[in-house]
A and B are shown apart, each in its own frame.
Chain A
Amino acid sequence: MAALAFRRRPAVWLGWLIGLAYVIYAAAQLDLSWPRFLLGLDNGAKFLDRMFPPVIIQPDTMAKGLLESLEIALLASVLGVLLSLPIGIMGARNLMPWWVSTPARTGVALCRSFHPVIVAIVFVKAVGFGAMAGILTLTVASIGFIGKLFTEAIEEISPKQVEAVRATGAPFVSLLSYGVFPQVMSRFVGFASYQVDSNLRNSTMVGIVGAGGIGGTLFSAFQRYDYDFVCAIILAIVAMIMIGETLARWVRRILDVDAKSGDD
């Protein structure tokens, strides 16, 4: 079979060869070698040994961090949803003149282009250490995600309803609420619920650069070599995210939103 395929599509095999060559080259560049990996596994065994059994050394700090992560995720999601609704509408080229849609789209693209951690660094500098920086960071991330998808959803709507409403002489707000929203609201809610999920994941991480939440607790435990506490915190994070996913699924079911698989 392979020989047949080879005769038929040499380009495919060439592609695989180039891919393989790249992998070997890149591995060499990064100094990833088998002995190093084995040495790492050896270290890893020691590391795991120190991680288990997990111990909650500072229960208060951990509970506070987890709660703060939750609060950051929740508030950032609410703020992000509230802001991305108008921004998403402003970006839609079928509703807005170019001098409104272009700035809105550029803003959303800017919000998307940096990883939350980098945004968090800037906000930590701007508003100081703590939850506020985390909230602002994840708000920016939410606008980037929901704003983009919402704009795209609006641009895909059927223009018939919009024109019918417009033909009655309805003002712009009525145009939105009767012509546009009925067509896109369920998708908007879907995007928002995924963003809540994603914010919850990221709220456990922004603390690494000082933007509040459990990430800070985790990072300092790590730097103190309290690996058993690190393990406990990671398990708690995983549990929290799994509970969050389940809750988000319930919410989607209650709101009857199309549940497409998504992540991040």
Chain B
Amino acid sequence: MTEPRMPLLAQAPGTAQLAPPRTWVRFSAAERAARWLLLVVLLAAVILSIRHVEVIPEFLWDAPAQMHDLLSRMWPIDWSFYGPGVHQPLIETLHIATLGTVIAIVLAIPIGILSAGNIVRAKSLNLLARLILVASRSVNSLIWALLFVGVFGPGALAGTVAIACRSVGFVGKLIGEALEECDIKAVEAIRATGAPPMTVLAKAYWPQVAPTFWSVALFRWDINVRESAVLGLVGAGGIGMALDTAMNLFQWDRVSLILVAIFVIVLAAEVGVTQLRKRIL
């Protein structure tokens, strides 16, 4: 996290020798230089990217016609396909998201605790835990899914494990940070009674991090519903597999039905989480 900045104390020795500036400037010379440098680097990068990136203009002019074509194929929506082909995968998607979140939380709690420097005093363990968390977050859930399809074969198992692997980093990082921000007083009070470490965790840390914990868990579940809906594109189960099949067969009226279904389920999850958060937090 950010170290508290103390401009007065930190700058006093350096600026004391200088004559006080006649006009007030917002940033020091170094800060201004850094900002300019940042701007120049950013501009240069943007210009280089625009020149280098491959864009085929003919395709771009074609876009409105293509979109029109796509929409006309998607309409009218094939509602009758919902019963036989969409309902079951949709429920499977929800199961993948929920189970993945549960597994992620179970794994994230010990790793989060290990990553908190104020609980586990061993620097090497902290670093190891943080490395695991960063690695988990750096790999996109679709890429995780790709790997686990290789390991477990196509299906919901790969999707669930992929969701879990991606979420561990997110949940663990936020749990670890919440633990590090805990007030030490309650911890010392419990420890002073001679309580064993598990009791200190349960009675001193847990009450302080519980609200964060539940809100992180709900938030991640919401994200996971979105993500599990597309994992099927790489074969990891759920509604995405139905989407992939429909697209490969150019059944665009079914694609639009599946997109509507995903939209509704994502919206429902978001509304549900918001309501639940209001209710319990």
Chain A interface residues (CB < 8 Å from chain B):
19, 22-23, 26-27, 29-32, 36-37, 40-41, 43-44, 47, 67-68, 70-72, 74-75, 78, 113-115, 117-118, 121-122, 125-128, 130-132, 135, 201-202, 204-205, 208-209, 212, 215, 218-219, 222, 227, 230, 234, 237-238, 241-242, 251, 254-256, 258-259, 261, 263-264
| Residue of chain A at shortest CB distance from B267 | A113
Sorting the interface of chain B by its residue count into under 10, 10 to 19, 20 to 34 or 35 or more gives 35 or more
| Residue of chain B at shortest CB distance from A227 | B150
Contact A75 B46 (CB under 8 A): yes
Please measure, in the bound complex, the distance between the C-alpha atom of A27 and the C-alpha atom of B49, giving whole angstroms: 47
A contact residues around B31 at 8 Å (CB): 254, 256
Say whether, besides A29-B95, A31-B156, A43-B152, A205 and B140 are in contact (CB < 8 Å).
yes
CB distance from A247 to the nearest CB of B (A): 10
Residues of chain B in range 40-81 having any CB-CB distance to chain A below 8 Å: 45-46, 49-50, 52-56, 59-60, 62-63, 66-67, 70
A contact residues around B142 at 8 Å (CB): 117, 205, 208, 215
Contact A259 B151 (CB under 8 A): no
Chain B interface residues (CB < 8 Å from chain A):
1-2, 31, 34-35, 38, 45-46, 49-50, 52-56, 59-60, 62-63, 66-67, 70, 91-92, 95-96, 98-99, 102, 134-135, 137-140, 142-143, 146-147, 150-153, 155-157, 160, 169-170, 173-174, 177, 223, 226-227, 229-230, 233-234, 237, 243, 247, 259, 262-263, 266-267
Option from B1, B46, B59, B151 in Cβ contact (under 8 Å) with A74 = B46
Interface of A is mostly: helix
Option from B50, B95, B173, B227 in Cβ contact (under 8 Å) with A26 = B95
Say whether, besides A114-B262, A114-B263, A209-B233, A222 and B146 are in contact (CB < 8 Å).
yes
A contact residues around B92 at 8 Å (CB): 29-30
Please measure, in the bound complex, the distance between the C-alpha atom of A123 and the C-alpha atom of B158, giving whole angstroms: 27
Say whether, besides A118-B259, A121-B247, A127 and B38 are in contact (CB < 8 Å).
no
Contact A125 B96 (CB under 8 A): no
Please measure, in the bound complex, the distance between the C-alpha atom of A261 and the C-alpha atom of B213, giving whole angstroms: 15
Interface of B is mostly: helix
Contact A36 B157 (CB under 8 A): yes
Nearest 5 CB-CB pairings of A with B:
A128-B59, A40-B152, A30-B156, A71-B49, A44-B151
Contact B160 A218 (CB under 8 A): no
Option from A23, A30, A261 in Cβ contact (under 8 Å) with B237 = A30
| Residue of chain A at shortest CB distance from B142 | A205
Contact A32 B99 (CB under 8 A): yes
Please measure, in the bound complex, the distance between the C-alpha atom of A122 and the C-alpha atom of B74, giving whole angstroms: 12
Contact B157 A32 (CB under 8 A): yes
Q: List 22 A-B contacts (CB under 8 A).
A: A19-B102, A26-B95, A36-B157, A41-B151, A70-B49, A71-B53, A74-B49, A113-B263, A122-B70, A204-B140, A205-B140, A209-B233, A227-B150, A234-B143, A234-B147, A237-B139, A238-B139, A242-B138, A256-B31, A258-B2, A261-B174, A263-B174
